[in-house]
Amino acid sequence: NAGVTQTPKFRVLKTGQSMTLLCAQDMNHEYMYWYRQDPGMGLRLIHYSVGEGTTAKGEVPDGYNVSRLKKQNFLLGLESAAPSQTSVYFCASSQWDTQYFGPGTRLTVL
Amino acid sequence: RKEVEQDPGPFNVPEGATVAFNCTYSNSASQSFFWYRQDCRKEPKLLMSVYSSGNEDGRFTAQLNRASQYISLLIRDSKLSDSATYLCVVNRWGSQGNLIFGKGTKLSVKP
């Protein structure tokens, strides 16, 4: 089992560009999450999903959209990237409270 | 009071030392508690869950004090490989799956 995978691993964007981050899990988990991690800020929840076809806002949802069309995939979209969105993005999945994380995507917005 | 608060460290200790990390949480409705470990430039990984009765896993012991809303992690006989950031994690307002992560305590074990 691959667990949780994320694509891409690294990306550099210019201000105003858009992109989609892909998260995939093969553990048949119902819950999936997107976090961002910034120095001195810890992990902050952006959006999450409690099942296929559902999404909900987390702590810092502004500037991001998500979709969960298939149970195993959770997409994070940036419609118009801003320098403040430079961060490391982690996806996670869980069945109960234990969360399993992907390796992260390092995004730089210039 | 912050939702989950930890001493950021860093804790610099020699191999073989015993080190303790503390964490406080603000919401008394929280039901699930964890310690995660994060290596530099890697994803967080579950180290252990924390139960009311306290629990031990090899050199690691976790304690929970609900009355004081306090969680601890004790590492005995520190190894170089224990060097990492340790994250205290609490579930959000008693809701399943929705976790609050502390900012982490950095541990550096020196030879």
Average pLDDT, chain A: 94
The fraction of chain B above a pLDDT of 90, given in percent, is 76
B96 interface with A at CB cutoff 8 Å: yes
What does chain A look like in DSSP terms, one character per residue? Answer: ---EEEE-SEEEE-TT--EEEEEEESS--SEEEEEEEETTTEEEEEEEESSTT--EE-SS-TT-EEE-SSTTEEEEEESS--GGG-EEEEEEEESSS-EEE---EEEEE-
Which of the two residues, B28 and B35, has the higher pLDDT score?
Answer: B35
Mean pLDDT calculated for residue range B24-50:
92
Integer angstrom CA distances of residue B101 from A85, A110, B2, B15, B18: 20, 28, 11, 28, 24
Provide the pLDDT confidence category of residue A97 given band limits of 50, 70 and 90: confident
Tens digits of residue pLDDT in B70-82: 999 999 999 999 9
Distance CA A10, CA A108 (A): 8
* A9-45 confidence digits (pLDDT tens): 999 999 999 999 999 999 999 999 999 999 888 899 9
- Tell me the shortest Cα–Cα distance from B35 to chain A, in angstroms: 10
- pLDDT given at position B95: 59
B34 contacts in chain A (CB < 8 Å):
97-98
Maximum average pLDDT range among A41-55, B40-54, B75-89: B75-89
* Interface probe, candidates A97, A98, A101, A105, chain B, greatest B C-beta count within 10 A: A97
pLDDT score at A91: 98
Instruction: Kindly state whether A5 is in contact with chain B, defined as any CB-CB distance less than 8 angstroms.
Output: no
Length of chain B: 111
pLDDT at residue A46, as a whole number: 95
Instruction: Inform me whether the pLDDT recorded for B34 exceeds 90.
Output: yes
Q: What is the percentage of chain B residues whose pLDDT exceeds 70?
A: 95
Q: Is the pLDDT of residue B97 over 70?
A: no
Query: B54 vs chain A: nearest CA distance in angstroms?
Result: 18
Residue of B42, B45, B101 with shortest CB distance to A42: B101
Compute the nearest-CA separation of B96 from chain A (Å): 6
- B40 at the A interface (CB within 8 A)? no
A57's CB contacts (< 8 A; 6+ apart) are A47
